Structure 1
Amino acid sequence: MSGTTAERQRLGAGAAGTEVGPGTRRRLRPAGYLWILPALVLCVGLIYYCIAYTAVISTWDWDGLDPFPEHVGAGNYVRIAQDPIFAKTIEHTAVFFVVTFVVQTALGVVFAVLLHSKVRLAVVYKVIIFIPVVLAPAITAPVFRRLYAPDGQFNWVLEHIGLGSLAQPWLGQESTALPVIMAITIWQWTGLTFVLYFAAMAQIDVSVLEAARIDGAGNLRVLASIIWPGVRGTTVALGILSAIGALKTFDVPYLVAVGGPNYATEFLGTYIYRKTIAQSHVGYGAALSVILLVLALGFAILLQVRSREKETTG
């Protein structure tokens, strides 16, 4: 009996990749490291190297072609601090993040709640809501440029429902260009928010909802006291993704409005492209990229810390 137990222990130790015996030390086989080696090389050898090299370039006054760039130290960062367009991009990013996150969250929760109830053709509605997520901005941008043109379909609809006084060049004036970009982004990404909330709500214990119903809780009470706290983790994750996405926004503002008019839809991403590619200020663009990275990491860490604080105090 004891021999059988010892044999099992020896076989189990061998299966775990260790050698056990008198006078020998336990040794782990590092075979698993070979599987993560490609990802490790990619992250360390490519991504982190590029980040470090971008930080080096940010200290140069360089056009990207001169073999002898001028070292300016923190000069590019000083210029950024005094750049009024950079201040505009930060303002646009903040407004863009708050509006799109709040609206997408509200719509995502409402759609998820409605489709968790007994709705006919629920699968069709899910597909319709999610379709904008898989459409490439390069395909939809010309459609929206035409839709919001002075003689476009949106103004045509306003005129034919008796609201012709509201018709205007939506993308041609500073007061409406940014709201149009936010509306397009909300249309594009609400489907992803809906899918994540729908999955999160599926994890809520049905017995808890039934108990609340038995106690007389109405729909709003159940939503506020059970469903919303139950999807808090999803909300935090979406907040982090939305903050980073707002900082990296490029495709919709550039393809639809090219950052205009008069920088009204300029974001950090479009401004980096304008400075680096269009104007060949590579060092200045690299400094903007470093600032974007720092802001993205700062937002992610801040939201994560705040979420943990709420969990501990809640």
Structure 2
Amino acid sequence: MPARTRTRPAPEAPAPPATTARVATGKKRRNTMWLFLLPALALYAFVVLVPSGRGALLAFTDWDGLSPDRAWVGLQNFTAILDDADARAAVGQTLLIAVAITIIQNGVGLLLALGVNTRIKSRNVLRVFLFAPAVMTPVVTGALWKNLLAPDGAVNWALDSTGLGGLKQDWLGDPNIALWSIVGVVVWQFAGYSMVIFLAGLQGIPQDVYEAAEVDGAGPWTRFRHVVFPLLAPATTINLMLSIIGGLKLFDQVWVMTGGGPGHSTDTLSTLIYKDAFQFGEFAYSIALAIVLTVFVAIISSGQYWLLRRQEESSR
């Protein structure tokens, strides 16, 4: 009977010393990175995540913000939002303000960026002048325009002085105009901020691209539509994200200028949250509204970012 032979697998070749060293170096760097990150992450969790989580649990109670007693009510506060006419109106007004600010602010910002990207001698002075409102605090901006838009304020006085007295309005007292007055103030303040981001994108476009399009016979509008605007996709993404998030969270200008009035015509989710918590003592209900606002911001901003990123990739 022939003897059996056992075939052993060939031993694996040892990894090259250089590869082993690179792997060890990579692991060491990752470990070092986590050593630096852990204190910051622990502080962030202690200051933000844990309080936010515990606060969110209060939305499922009937706590009034002062009493030590609280009872678990489940989803009662969230279902109450559906039956609250003021809350439904605030949701609609919040979305309207956010969309209006996003469209108008970025449209104006893009026009300003195109204007100051030319070779006019005063372009640097104009850039500073147009960006200046963005560095003002929203509270100061709101107080300033509250006085300017008063019935006897400078805006109506200027209209009257220039023979346009028929255009005088109660800008903050008319429910049909007050919300759009706030939108105009926010656009006035932050259009320069959008301008700077668009301007950075414009200055990042090589001059050769403009010259090649001009040689091909493309006019100004054709160059902008088919050359400039597609290359501004990253700047557009940033501006739209910042505008929509800022519009959804808008509070300061609204509170200072109208306090949500007249009536509830300019109430946003942020102002309604403040009123329910600190004026009406419905603290748990206000937290439920805050959670709804957070979900709105997360869903809308994530969806917008996904769409804009796809558009960026398709334009490359």
TM beyond 0.5: yes
Distance in 2 (CA, whole Å) between partners of 1:91 and 1:48 is 29
Q: Secondary structure at the match of 2:185?
A: helix
Of 18, 39, 43, the residue aligned with 2:24 is 18
Match for residue 90 of structure 1? 91
Is residue 185 of structure 1 aligned with residue 222 of structure 2? no
Shift of 1:246: 1.4
Q: 1:312 to 1:145 in 2, by over 3 A?
A: closer
Shift of 1:185: 0.1
Report which stretch shifted further, 213-222 or 249-258.
213-222
Is residue 150 of structure 1 aligned with residue 151 of structure 2? yes
For residues 1-314 of structure 1, the aligned pairs below 5 Å read 13=21, 18=24, 28=28, 30-311=31-312, 313-314=314-315
Q: Secondary structure at the match of 1:279?
A: coil
Distance in 2 (CA, whole Å) between partners of 1:140 and 1:308 is 33
Deviations 1:36-62 (A, max 9, x none): 123312333332223312220100111
Q: Secondary structure at the match of 1:107?
A: helix
Shift of 1:313: 4.8
Distance in 2 (CA, whole Å) between partners of 1:312 and 1:145 is 44
Q: Is the 8 A contact 1:62 1:282 kept in 2?
A: yes
Shift of 1:27: 5.8
Structure 1: runs of 5+ lacking an equivalent: 1-8, 20-25
Distance in 2 (CA, whole Å) between partners of 1:62 and 1:201 is 52
Deviations 1:100-151 (A, max 9, x none): 1111111111111122211112111011011001111222322211111111
Mark the structure with the bigger radius of gyration. Answer: 2
- Whichever residue aligns with residue 227 of structure 2, its letter is I
Distance in 1 (CA, whole Å) between partners of 2:37 and 2:154 is 52
Distance in 2 (CA, whole Å) between partners of 1:27 and 1:183 is 53
Shift of 1:17: 8.9
Report which stretch shifted further, 271-280 or 32-41.
32-41
- Whichever residue aligns with residue 307 of structure 1, its letter is L
Q: Is the 8 A contact 2:106 2:240 kept in 1?
A: no
Q: Is the 8 A contact 1:61 1:69 kept in 2?
A: yes
Q: 1:168 to 1:250 in 2, by over 3 A?
A: same
Q: Is the 8 A contact 1:240 1:299 kept in 2?
A: no
Distance in 1 (CA, whole Å) between partners of 2:166 and 2:48 is 52
Distance in 2 (CA, whole Å) between partners of 1:157 and 1:104 is 24
Normalising by structure 1, we get a TM-score of 0.89
Match for residue 5 of structure 1? none
Q: Is the 8 A contact 2:171 2:181 kept in 1?
A: yes
Match for residue 9 of structure 2? none
Distance in 2 (CA, whole Å) between partners of 1:146 and 1:66 is 40
Deviations 1:165-202 (A, max 9, x none): 22121111101110110010001111110010000111
Deviations 1:67-110 (A, max 9, x none): 12121100000000111111111211222122211111111111
Distance in 2 (CA, whole Å) between partners of 1:194 and 1:38 is 38
- Whichever residue aligns with residue 122 of structure 2, its letter is L
Q: Is the 8 A contact 1:61 1:72 kept in 2?
A: yes
Identity score, percent: 30
Distance in 2 (CA, whole Å) between partners of 1:74 and 1:221 is 55
Q: Is the 8 A contact 2:141 2:253 kept in 1?
A: no
Report which stretch shifted further, 198-207 or 69-78.
198-207
Report which stretch shifted further, 142-151 or 43-52.
43-52
Q: Is the 8 A contact 2:56 2:291 kept in 1?
A: yes
Distance in 2 (CA, whole Å) between partners of 1:27 and 1:91 is 51
Q: 1:27 to 1:126 in 2, by over 3 A?
A: closer
